[in-house]
C-alpha cells in the first residue's frame, strides 16, 4: 500500500512543485494544507504516513505545527521545508523530532533522500 503523504505550505506554487517531485519519485500526495492550523486538523482526522511542513506560514508556523503533530503521534514522520538561511530553525525542528529537512529551492535527489530517510526510520 502506498504511504499517505500530506504537503503543507502556504504557497500553492511550492505545494505543486513539491507534489510533482514526490509523484515523480513514485509516491502519492493524498492531502495538502496551506497552514499549520489546517495541517493539524487534517493530521488528526487522516493520520498521513508522512508530512512535509513549511517552517514559515501564517496562522500557525511549521515548528508549532510540528510540536502539536508530535503531541498527537510521537512517531509521526515529518520533513521540514524551509527557505535558505533558516538553519537555526531547521536544527531546532530536528531536535523536536523532525525526520529530515529540505531547503528551497529543493532538488529531486534531496527530496528522494529525505523521503527515504523518513520511511526507513
93: Cβ contacts below 8 Å, ≥ 6 apart = 55, 62, 63, 66, 80, 101
Q: What tens digit of pLDDT does each residue of 40-87 get?
A: 999 999 999 999 999 999 999 999 999 999 999 999 999 999 988 888
Q: CA-to-CA distance for 44 and 8, rounded, in angstroms?
A: 14
Q: CA-to-CA distance for 40 and 23, rounded, in angstroms?
A: 23
Determine the pLDDT at residue 85. 84
Q: What is the pTM of this model?
A: 0.95
With bands split at pLDDT 50, 70 and 90, how would you rate the model's confidence at 1? low
Q: What tens digit of pLDDT does each residue of 86-104 get?
A: 889 999 999 999 999 999 9
**Contact indicator for 22, 29 with CB cutoff of 8 Å:** yes
Whether cis (ω within 30° of 0) applies to the bond prior to 103 is no
- For the chain, domains (ranges, CATH) are 4-120 (3.40.50.2300)
Amino acid at each position: 500500500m502506498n504511504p499517505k503523504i500530506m504537503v503543507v505550505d502556504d504557497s500553492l506554487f511550492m505545494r505543486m512543485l513539491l507534489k510533482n517531485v514526490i509523484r515523480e519519485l513514485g509516491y502519492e500526495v493524498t492531502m495538502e494544507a496551506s497552514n499549520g492550523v489546517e495541517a493539524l486538523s487534517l493530521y488528526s482526522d487522516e493520520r498521513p504516513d508522512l508530512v512535509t511542513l513549511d517552517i514559515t506560514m501564517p496562522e500557525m508556523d511549521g515548528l508549532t505545527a510540528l510540536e502539536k503533530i508530535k503531541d498527537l503521534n510521537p512517531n509521526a514522520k515529518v520533513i521540514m521545508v524551509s527557505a535558505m538561511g533558516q538553519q537555526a530553525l531547521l536544527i531546532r525542528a530536528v531536535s523536536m523530532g523532525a525526520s529530515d529537512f529540505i531547503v528551497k529551492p529543493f532538488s529531486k535527489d534531496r527530496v528522494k533522500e529525505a523521503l527515504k530517510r523518513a520511511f526507513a526510520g
